[in-house]
Structure 1
Amino acid sequence: MDTQSITGATAAEIADSIRTLHERGELRAGDALPPVRELATRLSVNRNTAVAAYRLLAQAGVVVARGRAGTVIAGMEAVAQEGYAAGSVLRDIGTGNPDPRRIPDASTALAGALGRPVLYGEPVIDPALEQRALEWVGADLPGRDLRITVTSGAVDAVERLLAQALLRDDAVALEDPCFLASIHTVRLGGYRAVPVPVDVEGMTVEGLRAALAAGVRAIICTPRAQNPTGATLSPGRAAELRAVLADHPYVLIVEDDHFSMLSQRPYETLIGPEHRRFALVRSVSKSLGPDMCLAVAATDPETAERLSLRLSPGTTWVSHILQRLVLAQLTDATALQAVAEAGRHYAERNAAFAGALTDRGLPATAADGLNLWLELPLEAKTVADRLMRRGWLARTGDEFVLGEQRSASRHLRLTVHDLTDEEAERLIDDLVDASR
């Protein structure tokens, strides 16, 4: 570590010097930079100049401010990902995956999706899919002047929406606990996550008020089947949140309604009739399969115009073959029936598992979505370790938590809908035993 080589007389020069040392490997991830007062004295500059230099570096993602621990060179923090754990021989009950047997067969629809080739300069959105998408979201946002953008899944939509509205170090309100992909997107974008607690009715009113007071410029909310908790906005809570947001019409609201085709709960929204910047994102990954990587974003006209600048033909548009394939399934009665049956199946299997756990003295509630969010009488890591010795790979709540309790979560997120009856009974026995 070589902090003695830092030079410069202005904030830009000091920041550039530190970046150069980092690029040459003389400063590495985790290395502590000198305290502001010490650096200012050494370089004979005003303390505010040193503060400004560190701020420039933080906005560029080069350093991380850790309060009393000082400012350190940033590294690439590993972020947990959805899906099966690689290389594990254990029965994975934390995948968050849909049941592949419940995903509609796309082979028939594929034949009709090929069609004529689409060339550069043509519309990036298939007109028929655009119309179907407007019908899909229009009833839930009545009276709004909506524009449709097609993206490569909900995560892609959220990333583009934040990029067109924010700068590095801008604050974003995230649900706490939070969807793993949202945590990852905010960190990679260099934004500051402001946690908003979630209860059974969704984002809390006081949490949202505090986030707005902290200056958030965007809010990412899951209106139903919140991942990991399964929470769904109640009509009363949604009305309270809209009332709070009425004084902040230009804060970007991104609603990730990822489970819309499968959800057993009605849609409620944070987006008030006068709100100016918003996006309702609906994907097909849970219903038509993760490999059917497509989402539609219904936005206000200005947001749509900004998004269109990030969808240049040939590089970042969504394949028209995929668009036609999704449209064919969204308009096919057999496929839609299969999706509806899958939604009921997930709800019934989760409810049965939660009921059996409750009967055994471990209270559980099935909310909405693919998973169960199980509260435990002791730390989740202890229970997960005990389950591992019994052949199960569980996912603890620590991975989803943004706030202060990140290392002491008492929750597991369980994906149990695809277990056989025998597997479910064995897991319930092991959960009860491991939770003692």
Structure 2
Amino acid sequence: MKLSGTTASEIYECVREGVQTGSLQPGDSLPPVRELAEALGVNRNTVAAAYQRLVKVGIALTQGRHGTSICEPSHAGEQEGLNLDTALIDLADGNPDPDLLLDISRFTVSPWPRPYLYGDQTVLPELQKWGHEWFAPDCPPEFELELTHGAVDAIERLAAAQLVAGDKVVVEQPCFLGTINALRLAGMHAVGVPIDEDGMLPDALDMALKNGAQALLITPRAHNPSGCSLSVSRAEQIQRILEKYPNVLVIVDDHFALLAETPYHSVIPVSSGRWALIRSVSKALGPDLRLGFLACDVGTAQRLRSRLAPGMTWVSHILQVIMSRSLNDPSTFEMLELSRKRYAERRNRLRSLLSQNNIPSFPSSDGFNVWIPLEKDMRDVAFELAKRGWLVRLGSAFAVQSSPLAIRVTVSKLTDDLASAFVLDLKASL
């Protein structure tokens, strides 16, 4: 395709149209800046500005000496729970146990409040009150509360409100696949920082922030896929590092809060100018409830409200009524205590069986996943397990810069008998 234009905007639109019509395909190289500038009779800075804009919006990719080429289109990548039709025993879906979720029919029989209309408050007062009491011990002072359609929705909205395409966002390596997808589709560049059993490594985090990252997205408890939780000393180390970068957006994804066994340790310094703490009900009460609490500083709240404006994208008040009734019912927390106990038993049982068979696993402290590092190709192991009737999630689904050699096993529905059979089959597959 022959490129045209005399301004940066015209050159940009020419390339964009070529991609939309198929004249330019993913992987196609664009002419070098100097060569195109001479061909069009424009200044090199004009072409460079057009290319910079193409890179920023994710149409093109600059690869140094290898030049600039058209990117592959954004795609969602792997998602949780897409293996429901498999004949295999599914240990890959990342779902909670359906038998341990909220029976919402108990909270829909009472008379409904008045109909809610355009212009009503986006958050019911009773849910606002409950949320403030829940978050207050763990947030800097003067925070505000909003609702979103779950944790990943909250991350997407925060990224859209506070960041721009091309910004670097620090995440754990390995990283939850929903987070990777959300950042990729928003045009952000995820920067992976390694973890150990106490959480994100401080020195590597500091280096990533020094190199210009605009945001940190961190999981304080039940990290998915590893199951690690921040220790108090690690949280304090990270908080001290963040004190040096007060303008970095700090997003804390405490998605497992209602079920967490480990205590919450905050990494948000009082000096932070932009921060948010997210807590979802999906794992504890049901993914289909699509509701997440989001506490944040006043400035971030104001930006979010432009995307949660009354009459546009509020969380359904019907869901809010159900949630308010359930969270104010003591039986809900009795159910949560049972769920917490069952998930811990199943996770610890599998890790114990792995250890007895000399198969190492990551020292997870929370959640309902077990991360199993491997010494051989994970695809070979997964294939051997599939032949024996098991479906597991490959570590590549959680890759940021590099692909971890591991598999993730969801234990939420894994009974003792199934756990024993799985470990024997895994040992044979190794």
Give the alignment's TM-score, normalised by structure 2: 0.95
The residue aligned with 1:423 is 418
Q: Is the 8 A contact 1:253 1:279 kept in 2?
A: yes
Conservation of the 8 A alpha-carbon contact between 2:123 and 2:146: yes
Match of 2:264 among 254, 262, 267: 267
Provide the C-alpha distance between the structure 2 equivalents of 1:300 and 1:195, rounded to a whole number of angstroms.
Answer: 26
Counterpart CA distance in 1 for 2:182 and 2:65 is: 27
For the residues of structure 2 that align with 1:417 and 1:296, how far apart are their CA atoms? 24
The answer as to whether partners of 1:94 and 1:415 remain within 8 angstroms in 2 is yes
In the other structure, the counterpart of 1:29 is 26
Q: Does 1:395 align with 2:393?
A: yes
Aligned equivalents of 1:430 and 1:137: distance in 2? 44
Distance 1:181 1:6, change over 3 A: same
CA distance in 2, matches of 1:69, 1:428: 47
Aligned to 1:122: 120
**1:68 to partner: Cα distance:** 4.9
Which amino acid in structure 2 is aligned with residue 105 of structure 1? Answer: D
Residue identity opposite 2:108 in structure 1:
L
Change (3 A) 1:113 1:20: farther
**Which blocks of at least 5 consecutive residues in structure 1 are unaligned?**
none
Deviation digits for residues 24-81 of structure 1 (CA, Å, limit 9, x no counterpart): 2211233222233433343343433322211101122222334454432222335111
Q: 1:231 aligns with which of 228, 231, 243?
A: 228
Does the residue aligned with 1:272 lie in a helix, a strand or coil?
A: coil
Aligned equivalent of 1:333: 330
Alpha-carbon distance, 1:9 to partner: 2.5
Aligned partner of 1:169 in structure 2 is 166
Shift of 1:363: 2.1
* Inter-CA distance 283–206: structure 2 relative to 1 (3 Å threshold): same
In 2: Cα distance, 1:68 partner to 1:349 partner = 52
Instruction: Tell me how far 1:303 sits from its aligned partner.
Output: 0.8
The equivalent position to 2:7 in structure 1, one of 10, 20, 23, is 10
Report the count of equivalent residues.
Answer: 428
CA separation in 1, counterparts of 2:352 and 2:67? 49
Mapped partners of 1:202, 1:282: distance in 2: 18
Partner of 1:55: 52
Distance across 2 between alignment mates of 1:33 and 1:6: 9
Distance 2:75 2:247 in 1: 32
| Distance in 2 of aligned mates of 1:206 and 1:36 | 38
Query: 42-51 vs 381-390, which deviates more?
Result: 42-51
Contact 2:102–2:285 (Cα < 8 Å) also in 1: yes
Q: Kindly indicate whether the alpha-carbon contact (under 8 Å) linking 2:228 and 2:364 is maintained by their aligned counterparts in 1.
A: no
Q: Structure 1 residues 20-29 or 352-361, which shifts more?
A: 20-29
8 Å CA contact 2:119, 2:311 repeated in 1: no
Task: State how 1:236-247 maps to structure 2 within 5 Å.
Answer: 236-247=233-244
Of residues 407, 411, 416 in structure 1, which corresponds to 2:406?
411
The match for 2:133 is 135
- Tell which deviates more after alignment, 374-383 or 199-208: 374-383
Distance, in Å, in 2 between the alignment partners of 1:168 and 1:79 is: 18
Q: Is the 8 A contact 1:84 1:92 kept in 2?
A: no
Give the equivalent residue in structure 1 for 2:62: 65
Post-superposition Cα deviations, 1:84-133, rounded to whole Å, max 9, x if no partner, equal 32543222211110000001211111224732111111211101100100
Note if 1:201 corresponds to 2:198: yes
CA distance in 1 between partners of 2:271 and 2:353 (Å): 46
Q: Distance in 1 between matches of 2:369 and 2:37?
A: 52
Does the Cα contact within 8 Å between 1:104 and 1:339 map onto a contact in 2?
Answer: no
**Partner residue in 2 for 1:378:** 376
Cα distance change, pair 148–54 in 1 and its aligned pair in 2 (3 A): same
Alignment of 1:285-296 (within 5 A): 285-296=282-293
Within 1, Cα distance between the matches of 2:412 and 2:182?
28
Partner AA of 1:410 in structure 2: L
AA in 2 matched with 1:381: R
Query: Does the residue aligned with 1:244 lie in a helix, a strand or coil?
Result: helix
- C-alpha contact (below 8 Å) 2:226/2:364 kept by paired residues: no
- 1:359–1:68 distance in 2 versus 1, CA, 3 Å: farther
Cα contact 1:162–1:218 (8 A) shared by 2: no
- What TM-score does the superposition give when structure 1 sets the normalisation length? 0.94
User: Which one-letter code corresponds to 2:405 in the other structure?
Assistant: R
Q: 4+ residue runs of structure 1 moved beyond 6 angstroms?
A: none
Q: Summarize the Cα distance change of 1:48–1:399 in structure 2 as closer, same or farther, 3 Å threshold.
A: same
In the alignment, the residues of structure 2 paired with residue 116 and residue 128 of structure 1 have an alpha-carbon distance, to the nearest angstrom, of 15
Shift, 1:196, TM fit: 1.7
